[in-house]
Structure 1
Amino acid sequence: SSHKNYEEVALIGSGAYGTVYKARDLNNDGQLVALKKVRVPLNEDGVPISLLREISVLKQLQSFEHPNVVRLLDICHGKRLEHERQLILFLVFEHVEQDLATYLLNCPPPGIGPDRIKVELLYQLLTGVDFLHSNRIVHRDLKPANILVTNEGQLKLADFGLARIYQQTQPLTAVVVTLWYRAPEVLLQSSYASPVDIWSVGCIYAELFTRLPLFCGQSENDQLCKIFNIIGAPLECEWPKELTLPWSTFSNFKKTDFEDIVKDICEDGKNLLEKMLQFDANKRIGARQALMHPYFKEYELYPPKYDNNLNNKFNSGNNDDTS
């Protein structure tokens, strides 16, 4: 449909990929939407394949109407800027009142209690991440600014425009995540698979308690120092073999007890946080495993019953229920 159906009301923000406006849908009683205006470089034969792939993934995900993923309502083509070889695209998302960063800022002291952190925020965050991962999508840029929270307290992941369906064998391209939430393997440019999101979730989890980012580095190297200052030096056997940066650079760091940093966390919560913030991505807990961790056990919040996987949806030639 045409972007002229949408009237811009206010600028929400601009990021690496474009500008986001709060807008009204003129065809739909002026309903508020978030309009993301993206400039797409055109290659020789038109729109880049990678973008089309990402849009088709976003569209496929809509069919699930997952409660913890922001809705993509519409995609419109704007002008073709032939002289700049660019196309303007408008992605129309549901409008959500605030992001997690704002939500934390506006939460009156003493902040969000441990129970609300567990049941309302962390559980929803992991459920959304589990949904993406079970569809082979890595978000790769999880941070409080692109986790949205409705006035009813529903949490929704946004901005996985960088996510692409990952084939385990295919290393994804470099720099994506805001430094503070970046996993060590991203800082070291050695891997970009799904565990990078769990690291980010761990950083956000700690921040829900302290209301301050856990690791605030100024550069990649400084960020690694901030990380090892808390989780301790990695083992030599865990250090990626292909790096020119030697392990000895960081071998002297000592571990800090998480209880000293995250004051109100319970024993199970601390255990889960440590499992998320493992240096070695292979040892890091997965989203589904995290949802089944004893930390959540008294709520019996086992992973939701929906069918989580696109592959099942598109590849199930045989619909007989034999289970």
Structure 2
Amino acid sequence: MATSYSVPTNINFLKLVKSYVSCLGHGAYGVVLKAEYSSSRCTCIKFFRNHGKIDFIPNLADLPVHPNIVKVVYFSNKQELKPEKLREILEICPPSFSEFFESQTNSITCVQMELCGFNINDWINREKSREISIVQQLYQVEIVLDLISGLKFLHENNIVHGNLKPTNILFSKEYDLPVKIVDFWLSRIISPLSQENDSNQDYFAPEVETGNYSFQGDLYSLGLIIWEVVNLLDISKNKKELLSDTHRTLIEKHPLLEEDIKKLIVHLTKTNVSERFLNISELDPFTNLWDKITIHDTTANVSNDAELRLCVHYMRSGCTINLSAGNYPGGYCLNNDAITIIGESEKTLIECKDSVGFHVFANDCTISNVTISDREDDTGIILEGCRNKVDNIIVKFSSFPSAAVYTSPTSSDCMITNVSGNYVDTGIWLDGSNHQVENIALSRNHQTKLDAIKKNHQTWDLTILAKNSSVKNSSFDSVLIKGENTILNGVRVKQQIVIEKNAKGTKLAECKAKELVTSSFDEVVKYCKFDTMRGNN
């Protein structure tokens, strides 16, 4: 359910602007600027040239938040612009706006909204020069679904956009999804085809020439934009041929959306309005089908967070996701079985900004060749399912508390190998059963130890609650064993190995530690060396 928010109209938000950074765009209606505040937060402010001919939609202040609609922060018809800010604006605006700003400094009409990224036109032009890939195709699917979702929201709130075009559809940040519809808050009084209108008439429905803005007019524009997105077209260059009802065969089948996308575009872009879809709800069968798209046995090469999230969402068994070097914010949930994620090198950094790097709910997944860093109270990798593998991981944790790899009580038969790193509080926490751990080298820095002492908290590089699990050829600062039938083989420990009384059937072979602490000396210990051994009371 969408969350409602109130858009204040009585605040002089221009007084709060620290500086105007750049001009993001301009047209007949006005100019759009990037504004920075003292907190370093940036927003977007649109100044309107013809404020006397523009009315904001009546229910803008009560409009709920929607992920595919650009959020309006403030709007006002009477904002005051200080002289020093005016000079700053004029330096970055086109010369044609000088007279406009100088004549209206005491009565500026403007909207402050969230700062977004590039527009759909930018993305299409970028993708034309790239090789076709599964990531590109997934982007096309998601953009189509976002567009339909955003426009459906507007129509359900009785809003006709009236100027839907690629430049009014923005990515959340740079080219990050979701895409959002902007410039929906106006009702136009001027003639739709007057010289003052900055609309791109290539996207107008035929009936708009007579001044008839309607929901079906929006659907026509939507169809053209979807056509451009899925076929990487520029409608304006071949408009007459492309928009002829007898040339719909020019619409190409999409590898994921298949023939259905052709049917959708044809019914959205009928010249005769009576033959066009009546309302946007008629698109539901298409979106319901496309929401369930799945991809199997495919390799995807990704280079950013948005691409990785798309692949994790749509890909199924047998798929491999190759991550290029770079920073990824984390918070990735693997819900589909048999997915393999491979980093390019140690420069493939998962930052755990959402408290976890990877959360694996599925089975038979593999994560390898990445570096994981934390922020605070984070977990690098959580394994909930069975037969999952973690290999060749570098851990760079600096906060307290934190954990590098955690297997949950529901997990089993997981394999954790070749994990190394410093600055770790809880290195590896094993719960569940039948896990195998090998070639681990984790240690805590001095500051972490001091933090633990201050909080009266014992920290362990390896904690084993799991049953029937083994650890081989690894090194730690300290080890705690609570699970039954644990096997340590070739494990080197700088401080303690502590075996609690419930850890029956524990076996140690060729291990070395400063101290062995155990409640019972019945454990099988072969070829081990401990500086001291004492009972655990």
TM-score clears 0.5: yes
Aligned partner of 2:150: which letter? G
Map 1:15-164; keep pairs closer than 5 Å: 15-26=27-38, 29-41=39-51, 51=55, 54=56, 56-61=58-63, 64-75=64-75, 77-79=79-81, 87-107=107-127, 108-110=130-132, 113-118=136-141, 120-151=142-173, 152-163=176-187
| 1:97, distance to aligned residue in structure 2 (A) | 1.8
- Alpha-carbon distance between aligned partners in 2 of 1:102 and 1:137, rounded to the nearest angstrom: 26
2:247 counterpart of 1:256: yes
Letter in 2 for 1:5: L
1:184 to 1:19, Cα distance in 2 relative to 1, 3 A: same
Deviation at 1:274, TM superposition (A): 0.8
CA distance in 2, matches of 1:57, 1:40: 21
Shift of 1:99: 1.3
Q: Which amino acid aligns with 1:213?
A: D
Q: What SS class does the counterpart of residue 164 from structure 2 fall into?
A: coil
State the secondary structure of the residue aligned to 1:34. strand
- Separation in 2, partners of 1:82, 1:36: 13
* 1:185 has 2:207 as partner: yes
- Distance of aligned partners of 1:36 and 1:295 in 2 relative to their CA distance in 1, 3 Å threshold: closer
Quick check: 2:28–2:49 contact (8 Å CA) kept in 1? no
Alignment match, 1:278? 270
Of structures 1 and 2, the one with the larger relative CO (CA 8 A, separation 6+) is: 1
* C-alpha distance in structure 2 between counterparts of 1:140 and 1:280, whole Å: 18
Structure in which a larger fraction of residues adopt strand = 2
Q: CA deviation at 1:83?
A: 10
Partner of 2:21 in structure 1? 9
Secondary structure of the residue aligned to 1:131 is helix
Q: Which portions of structure 1, spanning 4 or more consecutive aligned residues, are displaced by more than 3 angstroms?
A: 39-42, 79-86, 111-116, 161-164, 225-228
Q: 1:15 and 1:161 mapped to 2: Cα distance?
A: 17
SS in 2 for 1:104: helix
List runs of 5+ in structure 2 lacking aligned partners.
1-10, 83-99, 294-537
> Taking structure 1 as reference, are residues 215 and 19 closer, same or farther at Cα in structure 2, changes over 3 Å only?
closer
Residues 34-67 of structure 1: per-residue CA shift (max 9 Å, x gap):
111123555xxxxx7x52xx15433222xx1111
Query: For the structure 1 residues 84 and 212, does the alpha-carbon distance in structure 2 shift closer, same or farther, using more than 3 Å as the test?
Result: same
- Whole-angstrom CA distance in 1 between matches of 2:211 and 2:148: 24
CA distance in 1, matches of 2:75, 2:60: 10
Quote how far apart the aligned CAs of 1:282 are.
3.2
Which residue identity is paired with 1:73? V
Equivalent position amino acid for 1:128 in 2 = G
Q: Distance in 2 between matches of 1:89 and 1:144?
A: 24
Matched residue type, 1:210: N
Please state which structure has a larger fraction of its residues in helix. 1
Q: Kindly indicate whether the alpha-carbon contact (under 8 Å) linking 2:57 and 2:187 is maintained by their aligned counterparts in 1.
A: no
Are the counterparts in 1 of residues 145 and 287 from structure 2 also a CA contact under 8 Å? no
Match of 2:261 in 1: 269
Letter in 1 for 2:157: N
**CA-CA distance at 1:279 after TM superposition:** 1.6
| Number of residue pairs matched by the alignment | 249
- Seen in structure 2, the aligned counterparts of structure 1 residues 280 and 82 have a Cα distance that, compared at 3 Å, is closer
For residues 171 and 31 of structure 2, what CA distance do their matches in structure 1 show? 20
